[in-house]
């Protein structure tokens, strides 16, 4: 979008009378400067968009997405389709704020009311400085906490939180199992775009249009890594073939999510 001030300036240019030849060079220089300002302003606005996620009205699907089988997990105004972990209601600290699912303090985790096996999940999120959260998938309610059963896509302020010192627990990692590369996370307080693809035993984590993690659930390498992690204490960790998608809330700090959509894969 062109800023109002620049738009007004352009309008003024369009209604000016014809100029003499002597006036043209000066006017052309001013017009070139104005055009450059428009480009810079437009680029600045686009820089605020999550990479890998084109601009669209928040929490909506295009006709093409609907036809392709995408479904919203958040409508922008209610928490329908979500509940607390091992609860039938949503913990009160989770709320709607400016078209996002948000929390400002540590609270219980929330999960989807439906279970998913194979899917393509996409989410926009931003986290406060020093913030720590996560997205769980194929989680069950057999244990006291969802992270004992469901693998986690880490949401983190890498710069401000201690977990960011290790790529094994940094943003977009398969928490404590597979590390993510650095250099693709936007700063705390800015929007990031996450994509999680789970297709059979094949799992991919994406961040801002870049593939961060690619692994095989149940494979030899995965089993070796789990055995060397804290998850070795829970024998069914990562073994469910379908389960809930969860959002971690039990760490301090603000978190906001929007444009949560999922496509079920065959």
Residue 33 pLDDT greater than 80, yes or no: no
Q: What's residue 36's pLDDT?
A: 46
Average pLDDT over residues 32-60: 53
With residue 71 as reference, give the H or E element that holds it. Answer: strand 70-72
Q: What's residue 127's pLDDT?
A: 98
Percentage of the chain beyond pLDDT 90 is 78
Q: What's residue 219's pLDDT?
A: 96
Among 45-49, 73-77, 186-190, 243-247, the least confident range = 45-49
For tokens 């996450």, what's the residue?
Answer: 194
Q: What's residue 4's pLDDT?
A: 47
Q: How many CA atoms lie within 13 A of 144 on its CB side?
A: 3
Q: What's residue 205's pLDDT?
A: 99
Q: What's residue 90's pLDDT?
A: 98
Spatial separation of the C-alpha atoms in residues 154 and 163, rounded to whole Å:
10
Query: What is the chain's length?
Result: 266
Decide if 170 contacts 158 (C-beta within 8 A). yes
pLDDT digits (tens, 9 = 90+) for 117-152: 999 999 999 999 999 999 999 999 999 999 999 999
The answer for residues whose C-beta is within 8 angstroms of residue 163's C-beta and 6 or more apart is: 132, 154, 156, 169, 170
Residue 11 pLDDT greater than 80, yes or no: no
Percent helix, strand and coil across the chain, each rounded to 5?
A: 25, 30, 45
Model confidence at 187, pLDDT cuts 50, 70, 90, reads: very high
Spatial separation of the C-alpha atoms in residues 208 and 104, rounded to whole Å:
24
Model confidence at 51, pLDDT cuts 50, 70, 90, reads: low
In the chain, what are the domains? 4-47 (no CATH), 63-264 (2.60.120.560)
Decide which of 218 and 17 is more confident.
218
Indicate the pTM of the whole model. Answer: 0.81
The answer for residues whose C-beta is within 8 angstroms of residue 91's C-beta and 6 or more apart is: 84, 107, 108, 110, 249
Q: Report the number of secondary-structure helices (H) and strands (E) in the chain.
A: 4, 13
Cα angle 207-210-212, degrees, rounded to a multiple of 5: 70
Q: What's residue 120's pLDDT?
A: 98
Residue 185 pLDDT greater than 50, yes or no: yes
Model confidence at 50, pLDDT cuts 50, 70, 90, reads: low
Residue 13 pLDDT greater than 80, yes or no: no
pLDDT digits (tens, 9 = 90+) for 147-170: 999 999 999 999 999 999 999 999
Tell me the H-state helices in the chain: 4-15, 24-47, 63-68, 220-227
Neighbours of 220 (CB within 10 A): 8
């Amino acid at each position: 979008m062109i800023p109002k001030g620049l738009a007004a300036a352009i309008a003024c240019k369009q209604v000016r009378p014809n100029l003499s030849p002597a006036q043209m060079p000066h006017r052309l220089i001013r017009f070139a400067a104005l055009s450059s300002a428009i480009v810079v302003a437009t680029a600045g606005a686009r820089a605020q968009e999550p990479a890998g996620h084109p601009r669209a009205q928040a929490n909506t699907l295009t006709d093409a997405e609907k036809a392709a089988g995408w479904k919203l997990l958040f409508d922008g105004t209610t928490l329908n389709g979500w509940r607390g972990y091992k609860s039938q209601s949503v913990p009160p600290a989770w709320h709607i704020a400016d078209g996002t699912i948000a929390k400002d303090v540590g609270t219980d985790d929330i999960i989807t009311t439906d279970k998913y096996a194979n899917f393509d999940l996409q989410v926009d999120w931003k986290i406060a400085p020093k913030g720590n959260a996560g997205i769980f998938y194929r989680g069950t309610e057999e244990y006291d906490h969802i992270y004992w059963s469901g693998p986690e896509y880490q949401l983190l302020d890498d710069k401000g939180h201690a977990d960011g010192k290790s790529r094994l627990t940094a943003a977009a990692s398969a928490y404590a199992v597979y590390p993510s590369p650095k250099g693709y996370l936007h700063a705390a307080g800015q929007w990031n775009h996450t994509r999680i693809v789970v297709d059979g035993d094949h799992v991919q984590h994406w961040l801002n249009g870049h593939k961060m993690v690619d692994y095989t659930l149940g494979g030899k390498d995965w089993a070796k890594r789990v055995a060397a992690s804290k998850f070795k204490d829970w024998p069914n960790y990562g073994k469910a073939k379908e389960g809930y998608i969860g959002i971690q809330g039990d760490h301090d700090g603000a978190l906001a999510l929007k444009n949560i959509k999922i496509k079920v894969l065959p």
